Amino acid sequence: MHSASDIDTSYYADWQKVADADIPAWLERFAAAGAKRMVLGTNLLYRAFRSAEFRRMLTRELERLHLVLDGSHAPFAQAGLNMKESPEKDAVIRDRLDMIRLCGDLGVTVLVNHLSCREEFYDVDAGVPELRRRAISALEKLLPQAERSGVTIALENIFFPSDGSAELLAITEYFGSPYLGVCYDFGHANLIADRPGADPGRWPEKIRRVWNGRPLLERDMLEKLLPQVVCLHMHDNNGFADQHLLPGKGNIDWAKLLPIAVSAPRLLSAETEVTVIAAGVDPAELCRTFRNLGFRS
């Protein structure tokens, strides 16, 4: 069983705000702050996928600074695994297979995937059973490559009807694969938590639209998902918007939830998902915050 003191945090940054030439300087700031592991976030994965030159630069800089890649996140703009069957989805699956291979080549053992895409693209006309069927169909194509590459696909809990604990467990249990698990996202769970002060009426309109006026709050999501949790996304919010704040800047009860989360028997990667560059968060403050939560680095 893990405890936070056994774990090196893996640090995320919103790299879409950083030009290629500036990435080495930012990585230096993380290394100087005590980071040991970096998340190959969506933007870095996409750039490494599209450009061998960028990939070489990134790996060279990581080696120079003694940083290790740990965890990645697949693109999710309109590319949820439960998108409609179409030539566009076929193209997404082909790219996703190549991204799984790339993660394996880079030593990244967890690739987080959204079942559903962004709020504005959520298919409100499809029922949850149909969305589950589509996701299973996609995973049937992806999991054989994940096993060959040694990459575990982690399905992330989002604040949508298709992505709560019951659906995530239904899909992971359908496959029963050691290469399929769950990414528990603290911030997303907080939005739909059945807690004192919860009020779906205060959600942004784009989230309320997804639920068609019938929001469903959840209790004890982490405890339900714990046996399948392979990855953590750690960030905070006020319970009404997906703000990606530093822990302690929102209302998540870290003292209660974090010891449970890090005890997950399948846990492979504990990743931050705090907005850093756009929010002006210094990497030193980010690393210090997670060390204060009890992590080793």
User: 226: closest CA among 195, 190, 258, 252?
Assistant: 258
pLDDT of residue 120: 86
Q: What percent of the chain has pLDDT over 70?
A: 99
| 200 band by pLDDT with thresholds 50, 70 and 90 | very high
Q: What is the pLDDT of residues 156-193, one digit of tens each?
A: 999 999 999 999 999 999 999 999 999 999 999 999 99
Decide if 266 contacts 181 (C-beta within 8 A): yes
Q: What is the band of 79 on the pLDDT scale with cuts at 50, 70, 90?
A: confident
Which are the contacts of 266, defined by CB distance < 8 A and separation ≥ 6?
Answer: 181, 227, 228, 229, 230
Greater pLDDT, 42 or 76: 42
Q: Choose among 294, 297, 235: nearest CA to 4.
A: 294
The answer as to CATH 1.10.1330.10 being correct for domain 4-282 is no
Q: What is the mean pLDDT of residues 207-230?
A: 95
* Position 9 confidence tier, pLDDT thresholds 50, 70, 90: very high
Three-state SS annotation for the chain: CCCHHHCCCEECCCHHHCCHHHHHHHHHHHHHCCCCEEEECHHHHHHHHHCHHHHHHHHHHHHHCCCEEEEEECCCCCCCCCCCCCHHHHHHHHHHHHHHHHHHHHCCCEEEECCCCCHHHCCCCCCHHHHHHHHHHHHHHHHHHHHHHCCEEEEECCCCHHHCHHHHHHHHHHHCCCCEEEEEEHHHHHHCECCCCCCHHHCCHHHHHHCCCCCCCECCHHHHHHHHEEEEEECECCCCCCCCECCCCCCCCHHHHHHHHCCCCCCCEEEECCCCCCCCCCHHHHHHHHHHCCCCC
Per-residue pLDDT, averaged over 213-236, amounts to: 96
Cα-based torsion angle of the residue sequence 48, 157, 121, 71 in order, rounded to the nearest 10 degrees: 0
Bridge-based pairing state of the strands 152-156 and 229-234: unpaired
Give this prediction's pTM.
Answer: 0.97
Task: Judge whether residue 245 has pLDDT over 80.
Answer: yes
| C-beta of residue 192 within 8 angstroms of C-beta of residue 241 | no
Q: For residues 27-45, give the mean pLDDT.
A: 97
Integer Cα distance of 23 and 111 in angstroms: 22
Q: How confident is the model at residue 2 (pLDDT cuts 50, 70, 90)?
A: confident
Mean pLDDT of the chain: 96
The rounded distance, in Å, linking the Cα atoms of 136 and 138 is 5
Say what the pLDDT of residue 1 is: 65
What is the predicted pLDDT for the residue at 101? 98
The torsion angles phi and psi of 149, rounded to 5 degrees, stand at: -90, -5
Query: pLDDT tens, 90-147?
Result: 999 999 999 999 999 999 999 999 999 888 889 999 999 999 999 999 999 999 999 9
Domain spans of the chain, in order of start: 4-282
